Structure 1
């Protein structure tokens, strides 16, 4: 395997009408990472092909392939960064894996647990890396907290409280449970290592015009008596938060011998002005660290962390939350679950 892996940027869509994580997040990170080189771009629909043609010219790359199969057959491509529309994402990821390519998949990996499970099965069958882009777990504060919990600094954890609230920006038509919940759920699972067995949820709409949920409150029962409460959603714009910026990203881990408070807005240089505040970070960001994990997993020939199987469990939790919110009753998850 070459020291530098060729990357195909596939698709430029997201859960929101103005989301383009491919160009806003992944392209900049791939462009500055020593382990990767963007060698091709492609779209899987008319809008995506138009964007791909424009981006190829801007980057000085060959014209995009006429179809997905041709793009995936390119021998210069080792990794596919998949950002096609969520309803087609699972099929695109499976096609890339079947073509022998490793995959970085935008969140969510799939819109349902059933589709996520299809992806995980192919990833396991092929032995290729399929990394869902749950990049918030790579925040340095989360990493430090994972080490502290694993070292027993709070004793045996019995509860986690999490707040993940975005201020401003365009609400997702799919609702913010589908849009954002993967991040704090993944962090709670990474912090504790305990799978979820029961879900009780409440969805609400406070200000979004489209009627989709803009806030979700999740009450989760995990293995070994652990519980967690996750508040996730989008608020109106706040004066001290950039548009679509994180207003709250924090966790409290309560254990038998102590409490660990994690504020993922720190460490940072905070500049406060009359009209707004800004956070300036020093060092690698979460998406850069995500690519470090992608490169390391490929080099070692191991599943990534998080893996496609992890994304299946998160999708199961989100599916259960939606069912619970509709019925007003808790939902039990399978004791077997996805491994």
Structure 2
């Protein structure tokens, strides 16, 4: 396997998060297709000849500039999610990626969960007939305080991106409600419900957020997709099958096999080596932020909001 050299750019995160240290750096180190060769901050250069990929976790105020600079230096990019804080900023990144022809992957790694992949294959193979509805739950028990910018931006896009991966159908209309149900009443929303209309009349409902800690649960407490079609219903439960691992720190569920970050990096590696677009790319980062912006408008107005159409 060809080994790609990785430069870690930044370790910023909001609240308690540090995805560079907790997910990407360990993921690259454990993957046989990558080797970490250094770490830099936002204001460093990326023209090192020994670097193939830059993993970007710089602050949001520097995100567009740093990703653009890495791409224009000829480096492929993995960028922490969300790719940026607005769809306009995401579109600027997407434009540079298109200009350079390099891989730029926003890290919505949950679409690489094995149950999501199996559901995608089943739907594509006609196992449920024509899909007409998806119900999704993405709930995290405990795990720290609510993300400072709210779980609509933090957790909900994992589920909406997975639905996009399963069905291949873009969102056309958005209705949403959100509130503080479990955490600090003065903080951002910790629970959101999205009612979405997709192309071809498909509908989906997403419940996403952070609940109080639950005994015996570490991290995701509920992560599932129920896909209803003209000829059947499929339940993809992403927490099963799993082994229960007991440690001094508590209990956690663990898959036997590669995790979602490892699978995402495998797709990144395959796209770079083959010189092809990655399955997960800038357009998905743009779609995620357009949906979030439409949901915010729906929450503020109490109305169904059209999803922004892709720009020509």
Band of TM-score, shorter chain: over 0.9
SS of structure 2 residue aligned to 1:76: coil
Please say if 1:227 is aligned against 2:226.
no
Matching residue within 61, 71, 79 for 1:87: 61
> Are positions 1:178 and 2:188 aligned together?
no
1:150-172 Cα deviation digits (max 9, x unpaired): 00000000000000011112211
| 2:83 and 2:90 in contact (8 A); partners too | yes
2:145/2:183 contact within 8 Å kept: no
Aligned to 2:31: 33
* Contact 1:4-1:36 within 8 A present in 2 as well: yes
Q: Contact (CA 8 Å) 1:135, 1:287: kept in 2 or not? A: yes
Shift of 1:272: 7.6
Deviation sequence 1:121-165 (CA, Å, 0-9, x none): 111110000011111111111111111010000000000000001
Name the CA distance, whole Å, in 2 between partners of 1:19 and 1:177: 16
Q: Which residue matches 1:134? A: 108
Question: What TM-score do you get using the length of structure 2 for normalisation?
Answer: 0.95
Task: State whether structure 2 residue 278 is matched by structure 1 residue 296.
Answer: no
The count of corresponding residues between Structure 1 and Structure 2 is: 309
- 3-state SS of the aligned residue for 2:36? strand
Query: What is the SS of the residue equivalent to 1:324?
Result: helix
Aligned mate of 2:230, from 244, 256, 265: 256
Deviation at 1:326, TM superposition (A): 0.8
Q: Does 1:279 align with 2:253?
A: yes
Tell me the CA shift for residue 278 of structure 1.
2.4
- 2:217 maps to 241
Matches of 1:338 and 1:41 in 2, distance apart?
35
Give 1:280 shift.
2.5
> What secondary structure is seen at the aligned counterpart in 2 of 1:311?
helix
Measured after TM superposition, the shift of residue 254 of structure 1 is 0.3
Contact 1:312 1:338 in 2 (8 A): no
For normalisation by structure 1, the TM-score amounts to 0.88
1:313, 1:338 within 8 Å by CA — same for their partners in 2?
A: no
Runs of 4+ in structure 1 off by over 3 angstroms are: none
Structure 2 counterpart of 1:308:
282
Deviation of residue 226 (structure 1)? 0.2
Q: Structure 1 residues 272, 256: CA separation in 2 closer, same or farther (over 3 Å shift)?
A: farther
Q: Name the counterpart of 2:240.
A: 266
Match of 1:330 among 304, 307, 312: 304
Contact 1:164 1:232 in 2 (8 A): yes
Q: What is the CA-CA distance between 1:5 and the residue it aligns to? A: 1.2
Q: Equivalent of 1:318, from 278, 292, 307?
A: 292
Tell me which of 52, 57, 61 is aligned to 1:78.
52
Matches of 1:171 and 1:33, distance apart in 2:
30
Name the structure 2 match of 1:22: 20
For structure 2, list consecutive stretches of 5 or more residues without a partner in the other structure: none
Q: In structure 2, what is the equivalent of residue 159 of structure 1?
A: 133
Could you tell me which residue of structure 1 aligns to residue 192 of structure 2? Answer: 216
8 Å CA contact 2:169, 2:199 repeated in 1: yes
